Amino acid sequence: MKKMRLPLLIALGVALIGVLFGSFFDLQISQAIANPKNGFALFISAIMPTIGFAIVAAMGGGLLP
């Protein structure tokens, strides 16, 4: 268990830094991505949540007998 502690702490630290930076820079990132002239970004913002929800639904469906 002691060997696994360091990677878990590193992952936790990266997650906390991501949440911290994400909470401060979310507006700037959203304004940069959601430019109406950027068709690729609008396509990704429309399609990726659908794919993510489909993956979660498939994981839930795997629990059915």
Query: Which structure tokens are listed for 14?
Result: 């990266």
Give 10-52 as a 3 state SS string: HHHHHHHHHHHHHHHHHHHHHHHHCCCCCHHHHHHHHHHHHHH
Dist CA 25 CA 15 (whole Å): 15
Q: What is the mean pLDDT of the chain?
A: 83
The pLDDT value recorded for residue 17 is 93
For residue 16, pLDDT over 80 is answered with yes
Predicted confidence (pLDDT) per residue in 19-63, tens digit: 898 888 877 877 777 777 878 877 887 888 899 899 999 888 877
Domain boundaries, the chain: 1-33, 36-65
State if pTM tops 0.85: no
